[in-house]
């Protein structure tokens, strides 16, 4: 297990947890596309016992999936940065949003899920021209 720290974009929310770097996942489902405003979400699970908010209060939104299961999504009330998702009742883990982790460069994805919903262009962006800054 790897200790991680993270925060939202504006810094109002800060947290810590333990994660298994081998469990980093890209999700291509349409819910993740809408909730992130982009092509996919990168998440790593953290055991509930290890997840601790150090600063601020997370705002939550409960989403009921097509299965009927409810998931709570935690985000910063000021800047809107998504922080986690978890089962709405007694979560065993929190799915931390890798982009908010200080250690994100050390957490490459190990698998992809919901690939049938993946946007075709998101599968191969290596050839898209890039610049170091803008």
Confidence of residue 134 (pLDDT cuts 50, 70, 90): confident
pLDDT given for residue 68 in this prediction: 86
The CATH number covering residue 91 comes to 2.170.150.70
Per residue in 8-61, pLDDT tens?
999 999 999 999 999 999 999 998 999 999 999 999 999 999 999 999 999 999
Q: Which domain holds residue 27?
A: 2-118
Domains contained in the chain, number? 1
Query: Is the residue at 100 inside a domain?
Result: yes
Q: What is the 3-state secondary structure (H, E, C) of the chain?
A: CEEEEEECCCCCCEEEEEECHHHCEEECCHHHHHHHCCCCEEEEEEEHHHCEEEECCCEEEEEECCCCCEEEEEECCCCCCEEEEEECCCCCEEEEEHHHECCHHHCCCCEEECHHHCCHHHHCCCCCCCCCCC
pLDDT in tens, 65-122: 878 889 999 999 999 999 999 999 999 999 999 999 999 999 999 999 999 999 999 9
């Amino acid at each position: 297990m790897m200790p991680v720290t993270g925060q939202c974009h504006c810094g109002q929310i800060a947290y810590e947890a333990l994660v298994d770097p081998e469990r980093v996942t890209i999700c291509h489902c349409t819910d993740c596309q809408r909730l992130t405003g982009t092509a996919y979400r990168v998440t790593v699970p953290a055991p509930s016992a290890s997840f601790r908010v150090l600063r601020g209060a997370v705002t939550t939104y409960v989403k009921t999936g097509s299965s009927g299961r409810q998931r709570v999504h935690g985000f910063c009330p000021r800047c809107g940065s998504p922080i986690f998702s978890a089962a709405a009742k007694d979560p065993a883990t929190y799915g931390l949003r890798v982009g908010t982790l200080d250690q994100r460069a050390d957490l490459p994805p190990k698998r992809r899920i919901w690939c049938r919903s993946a946007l075709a262009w998101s599968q191969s962006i290596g050839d898209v021209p890039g610049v170091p800054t803008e």
